[in-house]
Amino acid sequence: MKVVHPPLLRLPAWPGPRPAVAVRPPLVAVLAASALTLVLVGRPGGLLAGPLGTARAVARAPFAPVESAGAAAFRPLEAVGSAWSRGGVLAEAKAETARAQEQVSSQAARASALEAENARLTALLHLDGPGAGDGVAARVLSVGGAGPAATLVLDRGSNDGIAAGMPVLAAGGLAGRVVEVGPRQSIVLPVTAATSAVGVRTAAGAAGVAQGRGGLVLRLDLLDPNAPVAGGDPAVTSGLRHSRFPAGLPVGRVAGARGHLVVEPFAPPDRLEVVKVLRWRPEP
Amino acid sequence: MTVPAAVRHWERSIVCRAGLDRLVRDRVAGVRRHAPLGAALLTALMLHVAVAPHLAVRGAAPEVMLVAVAGVAVSRGPRAGAAFGFAAGFGADLFLATPLGTAALGYTLVGHALGRRSRPSAARMAAALCRPDSPCFACRAGRKHAAGPAVEPVRLRRRAANRRAALRQAVLLAGVAVAAGRIVTAAVAMALAGVPFPDTAGLRRVAIAAIVSAPLGPPAFAAIRRLPAPPSGGRSP
């Protein structure tokens, strides 16, 4: 006779595979991760720094007309504002001018003598001014707001022979360097941007680094803290080996007290219209 | 080719068979759903480019993009806030020297955080819905709640008070959004690209930018709240 044992443990029937539920990560995580990836591949020296820079230059170009329209609309207002602030000091300035005029006329005579001497010496040494090299004239399309990391857009690009790394000069002096190039536009990092640093030398021979802070002036860090430096000294690019700029380009005027030295640039980026891009490439 | 023939031809085509047409239709529907916010984004970007730099006070311009992000986050919640923050940050990135995506990351986080922060709490919701004829749990238990039951005589007075409170909140949120967005973006730039963090002068400029941008809050928030809402049925952002 066959004995049938009852099962020791009665298991419930297996309900079958669990129904698939789509697990979606939260949107903010997806977006943050893609932005992070973008930053990492697009930062200077990243995998896609070049193509992303070109894309930015091209995507920014359509906004140039909007920006110039805004500038045109606000020009009368700004003129009124500046006239208002200037009216009070007008009388003071008049007296100042009269005094200055006498000084100027005496100095002009001296300057013309010095200029003639300088021209003779330059010809003698076969030297050219550092900004006299081969260059491309370009118009500034956009000054990109007043933020600490604002950039300029020029209306010339790689089709005109501009390449990343070329220095940009304005009438007064060094304005910045080209960082990204599109076929017909290029983006310039101004010397005042927080990511910009320029090696400079003052007239008295003090060497240092002028670091942009996103404001209107650059902070000057001297290599030798005891080097002689005076307010009002002009600062020019030092152009050491592997420098990003050729030597001798005027940058600005030293101001401030020791410990808080700043360089006031000759070419503030917020009022540039026409610039010259030097066809000069830094040593690799 | 006649119209039915064209339809037959289309139905036999590989695009239709693979279900790509449905994909395209879904995309178009998605685009239409998000069109109002896209228009808001474009408007904000134009203001950011054309107007904001001319209203700068001591080198600090109002941050239109961040105010818009705050407005979307407040009126549509963290999901929409993060998505709009990403797009707005990307737009702002076009005009910055930091690597592409820095502001996008910062603005995404700010939009998400503000959207979460300003989601109405359960207690406030209950207080707002509390009526003498159907009191909320707090009233039933004999406790008082912050808003108090809205009975007829005080409602008019309350409406003016509410408007003032909303105005105050919009100003505050716009300022907070600008300050937080600038600082988070600067922190991202410092961590990922080695850009120096703003010094005291930079932080002062951030504070000025927040103060200058705060008055933009009420009009921007009101405009964004009046945008047509996405039709119900789809995944609302």
Residue B126 lies in a domain: yes
Output the CA–CA distances (angstroms, integers) from residue A183 to A55, A155, A179, A208, in the order listed. Answer: 10, 10, 14, 35
The contacts of residue A236 (CB under 8 Å, 6+ apart) are A130, A200, A201, A247, A248, A249, A250, A251
Neighbours of B56 (CB within 10 A): 18
Please indicate whether, in this complex, the C-beta atoms of B101 and A63 are within 8 angstroms of each other.
no
Model confidence band, residue B123 (pLDDT cutoffs 50, 70, 90): low
**pLDDT averaged over chain B?**
79
How buried is B74 (Cβ within 10 angstroms: 0-12 exposed, 13-18 middle, 19+ buried)? Answer: buried
> Dihedral through CA B149, CA B155, CA B159, CA B162, nearest 10?
-20
Locate tokens 């988070």: which residue? B184
Q: For chain B, how many structural domains are there in total?
A: 1
Q: What is the pLDDT of residues B145-172, one digit of tens each?
A: 555 444 434 455 566 677 788 888 889 9
Q: What are phi and psi of B171, to 5 degrees?
A: -60, -45
Residue B39, chain A, CB below 8 Å: the answer is no
Tokens encoding B35: 């069109």
User: How near does any CA of chain A get to the CA of B53, in Å?
Assistant: 5
Please indicate whether, in this complex, the C-beta atoms of B101 and A194 are within 8 angstroms of each other.
no
**pLDDT averaged over chain A?**
80
In a mutational test of the A interface, the residue from B55, B72, B100 whose CB has the highest number of chain A CBs within 10 Å is: B100
Residue B148, chain A, CB below 8 Å: the answer is no
Locate tokens 């300057």: which residue? A111
User: How near does any CA of chain A get to the CA of B81, in Å?
Assistant: 9
Contacts 24+ apart (CB under 8 A), A86-93: none
Residue B88 lies in a domain: yes
Of A60, A77, A216, the CB nearest to B94: A60
Closest residue on chain B to A193 (Cα)? B97
Instruction: Output the pLDDT for position A126.
Output: 46
Residue B84 lies in a domain: yes
Please indicate whether, in this complex, the C-beta atoms of B96 and A150 are within 8 angstroms of each other.
yes
Interior/surface letters A136-174, b for 16+ CB within 10 angstroms, e for the rest: bebebbbbbbbbbbbbbbbebbbebebebebbbbbeebb
Please indicate whether, in this complex, the C-beta atoms of A179 and B52 are within 8 angstroms of each other.
no
Of A28, A69, A193, the CB nearest to B97: A193
How far apart are alpha carbons A103 and A136 in whole angstroms? 37
User: How near does any CA of chain B get to the CA of A127, in Å?
Assistant: 35
Helix (H) or strand (E) holding A91, with range, is helix A90-125
Average pLDDT over residues A112-135: 61
Of B94, B97, B193, the CB nearest to A39: B193
| Angle (CA) A204 A206 A208, round 5° | 145
Instruction: Output the pLDDT for position B95.
Output: 85
pLDDT tops 90 at residue B180:
yes
Residue B75 lies in a domain: yes
Q: Please say whether the beta carbons of B85 and B40 come within 8 A.
A: no
Which position has the higher pLDDT, B214 or A131? B214
Q: What is the pLDDT of residues A24-60, one digit of tens each?
A: 788 889 999 999 998 888 887 778 878 888 888 888 8
Which position has the higher pLDDT, A166 or A2? A166
Residue B84 is part of which domain span?
3-225
Please indicate whether, in this complex, the C-beta atoms of A35 and B48 are within 8 angstroms of each other.
no
In a mutational test of the A interface, the residue from B45, B47, B95 whose CB has the highest number of chain A CBs within 10 Å is: B95
The backbone region for A259, taken as left when phi is positive above 0, alpha when psi lies in -120 to 50, beta otherwise, is left
Residue B231 lies in a domain: no
Residue B170 lies in a domain: yes
Q: What is the pLDDT of residues A209-255, one digit of tens each?
A: 888 887 788 888 888 878 888 778 888 888 776 778 888 888 888 88
* DSSP H helix total and E strand total for chain B: 10, 0
Q: What are phi and psi of A143, to 5 degrees?
A: -105, 0
Residue B230 lies in a domain: no
Average pLDDT over residues A7-12: 73
Residue B236 lies in a domain: no
